[in-house]
Each structure stands twice: as structure tokens, then as C-alpha cells.
């Protein structure tokens, strides 16, 4: 059985990836500093506590497990924080990733799956993004991810580091079995914030910005179910195992929903009204980001089977009501 090193495996997307990897016959090795992740979410393979900025610790873990590939999720990812503390994002995301890449190359682990973001594209209103859309990120989060993509290309040229890059934006939903789900502290993502408001765990949801150039004035995003997303990452790993070369894939449904659209759909799923108030725009937010995935569907055979708003909200709501979520 192949060991796969999963950075950020104690986080939201990483923990779902670990379950998908285990189901596919791999052994996911979670490497996480637990700053934003939760050790209780590590249920599908070994756990190693460590920071990406600690090269010695990375070398120890590579030597111990001899992973066949890296699946890299660990990153700071809050847009507002990236605007106010850009240095933290460049240090953590870029320097940490460079350490990881160098450690992987030193250990002759030359297959690398990278969790990037559609935030690298920046503002492209009324355009369905594809992999060739120019990248003009609006904040240090998107810029740091773009820089890591560049580093991977350089190491491919110098050390034959094969990589698959996935760019996606709003991930939602939860494991249908409710073994793992979405939980951040502080919480910044729309769906869990909305469910907190429905459930009385916060007074109201704040809708940030109602003056965007959209039909209802709120910004538009493409939502992808977390399980569909991690299935794509496993397919990306298979792509590398088949020695098909490095590739970039967008992951999206090609359909955008505004904040108010999501709120409306939640009522039909939960049978509850979302209490919300309006607030100012968040600095660094784009008006509209919608990502096509024709390349992933054609070349990887990826199909986003659970990526409807109703399914994503229903799975998240089920997780939200579990005992694990209350911890």
C-alpha cells in the first residue's frame, strides 16, 4: 500500500481527502501543525505533528514513511486577513511550501498534488474561468498560491517534480456519513456561518456587500462539494502514477450563485429562515468567480456528482447537527 503525505490533513478539505485516499487503498499520513486543523479529524491514517516551516521535521517524516506522493492542502486562506497581514501569507504559504517541495525532492518523492485556488485569477466578471485565463490575484492569498504554482514549474524543470495543480474556489458540504465536516475557528465561510445563524449559535449572518454589479447586489461564487473536490485529487494522483505529466485543472460546476441565492436555498433544505444583516464589502473580494471544469471532466473523468446547492447544504446541515461539530 502506498503512503501519501497529506499536509493540512487535519483541516476541512484535507480530512475529507484522507478519507477518500483510504477508501482508494492508500495510507494517508497527516502532517499538520493544528493551528487551523483538528486532531479529532484525523481518523483514516497516522498523524504527525509538524510545521511546514520546520525543514528538519519534514525530513524526519519523509524518511519515516517514504511517501509515494504529496497532497498539499496546508495554507492560510482568509481573504480579509491576507489583505491586512500579507507578510504572514507569504511566509507561511510560500516559504512553507518551498520547504515541503525541497524536502520531497530530497526524498525522491516526485509526485505532487497541489491545492491551489481560483483566487489566482482575480477579477474577471461575466467570464467562466478556464485554465488559460490570465492570473491577476487581488490579495496575498491568491498571490501566494500563484507563486507556489511557479515554484512547482521550476522544480519540474530542474528535478522532474511531476505535479497536478487544482484551482477551485468555494468548497462546501460535508462527508455524507458525517465522520468529518467543516469547522473553523474563527469561522469565515458562508455555509457554516449561515447554519450557525439558523441554529441560533450566532445572532445573524452578515452579508458582506450588497452593491456588487450582480442581479441582487451580492457577490457570486461557484460552489463545489468537498467530496467531489477530493475525488478529483485522487484522480489527480492516479494521473501522476500513470506518468501523464504535469497539468493544471480547474474544478467547478460552471454555475455561480450569489450569497442571497445560497440563503434562499438553505431555507428549502432546513425549513428555517436565515436571520441576516448587511455589512460592508470585504476588502479583496471579487464580484464574480465561476470556474469551468471541462478539462478535468475530459482528461481525468471527473464528475461533480454532489455539487448542487441542495446537497451541499443538506450534507453540511447533517454534519452541523452532530455531536462532533459541537466540540
What are the pLDDT digits (tens) for 239-291? 999 999 999 999 999 889 999 999 999 988 998 999 999 999 987 778 888 88
Radius of gyration of the chain (CA): 19
State how far the alpha carbon of 99 is from the alpha carbons of 30, 34, 124, 148, in Å.
17, 18, 32, 11
The contacts of residue 25 (CB under 8 Å, 6+ apart) are 1, 2
DSSP 292-322: --HHIIIII----TT-SHHHHHHHHHHHHTS
What are the pLDDT digits (tens) for 95-110? 999 999 999 999 999 9
The contacts of residue 80 (CB under 8 Å, 6+ apart) are 188, 282, 283, 284
| pLDDT at res. 126 | 64
Record the cell numbers describing residue 321, joined without a space: 447537527
For residues 63-74, average pLDDT: 98
List 141, 168, 212, 325, catalytic entry: 141
Q: Is the pLDDT of residue 327 over 60?
A: no
At the fourth CATH level, the homologous superfamily of domain 3-172+223-250 is NAD(P)-binding Rossmann-like Domain (3.40.50.720)
Instruction: Please enumerate, as own/partner, the contacts of 47-53 that have beta carbons within 8 Å and a separation of 24 or more.
Output: 47/9, 47/10, 51/96, 52/7, 52/92, 52/95, 52/96, 52/97, 52/99, 52/100, 53/91, 53/92, 53/95, 53/96, 53/99
212 is catalytic: no
Which CATH code, of 3.90.25.10, 3.90.870.10, 3.40.50.880, 1.10.1760.20, is assigned to 190-221+254-287+305-326? 3.90.25.10
Q: Which residues pair with 70 in a beta bridge?
A: 5, 112
For residues 65-79, average pLDDT: 91
- Start-end of CATH 3.40.50.720 domains in the chain: 3-172+223-250
| pLDDT at res. 125 | 64
Amino acid at each position: 500500500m502506498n503512503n501519501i503525505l497529506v499536509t493540512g490533513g487535519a483541516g476541512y478539505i484535507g480530512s475529507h481527502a484522507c478519507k477518500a485516499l483510504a477508501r482508494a487503498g492508500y495510507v494517508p499520513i497527516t502532517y499538520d501543525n493544528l493551528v487551523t486543523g483538528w486532531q479529532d479529524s484525523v481518523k483514516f491514517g497516522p498523524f504527525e505533528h509538524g510545521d511546514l516551516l520546520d525543514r528538519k521535521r519534514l525530513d524526519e517524516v519523509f524518511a519515516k514513511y517514504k511517501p509515494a506522493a504529496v497532497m498539499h492542502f496546508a495554507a492560510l486562506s482568509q481573504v480579509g486577513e491576507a489583505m491586512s497581514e500579507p507578510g504572514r501569507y507569504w511566509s507561511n504559504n510560500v516559504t512553507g511550501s518551498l520547504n515541503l517541495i525541497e524536502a520531497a525532492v530530497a526524498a525522491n518523492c516526485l509526485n505532487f498534488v497541489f491545492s491551489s485556488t481560483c483566487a489566482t485569477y482575480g477579477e474577471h466578471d461575466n467570464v467562466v474561468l478556464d485554465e488559460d485565463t490570465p492570473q491577476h490575484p487581488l490579495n496575498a492569498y491568491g498571490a501566494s498560491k500563484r507563486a507556489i504554482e511557479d515554484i512547482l514549474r521550476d522544480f519540474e524543470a530542474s528535478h522532474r517534480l511531476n505535479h497536478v495543480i487544482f484551482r477551485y474556489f468555494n468548497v462546501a458540504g460535508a462527508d455524507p456519513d458525517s465522520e468529518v465536516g467543516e469547522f473553523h475557528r474563527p469561522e469565515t465561510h458562508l455555509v457554516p456561518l449561515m447554519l450557525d445563524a439558523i441554529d441560533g449559535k450566532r445572532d445573524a449572518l452578515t452579508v458582506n456587500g450588497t452593491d456588487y454589479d450582480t442581479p441582487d447586489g451580492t457577490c457570486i461564487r461557484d460552489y463545489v462539494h468537498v467530496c467531489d473536490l477530493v475525488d478529483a485529487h485522487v484522480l489527480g494522483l492516479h494521473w501522476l502514477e500513470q506518468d501523464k505529466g504535469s497539468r493544471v485543472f480547474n474544478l467547478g460546476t460552471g454555475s455561480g450563485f450569489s450569497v442571497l441565492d445560497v440563503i434562499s436555498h438553505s431555507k428549502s433544505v432546513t425549513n428555517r429562515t436565515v436571520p441576516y444583516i448587511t455589512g460592508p464589502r470585504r476588502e479583496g473580494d471579487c464580484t464574480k468567480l465561476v470556474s469551468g471544469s471541462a478539462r478535468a471532466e475530459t482528461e481525468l473523468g471527473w464528475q461533480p456528482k454532489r455539487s448542487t446547492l441542495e446537497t451541499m447544504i443538506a450534507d453540511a446541515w447533517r454534519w452541523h447537527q452532530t455531536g462532533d461539530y459541537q466540540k
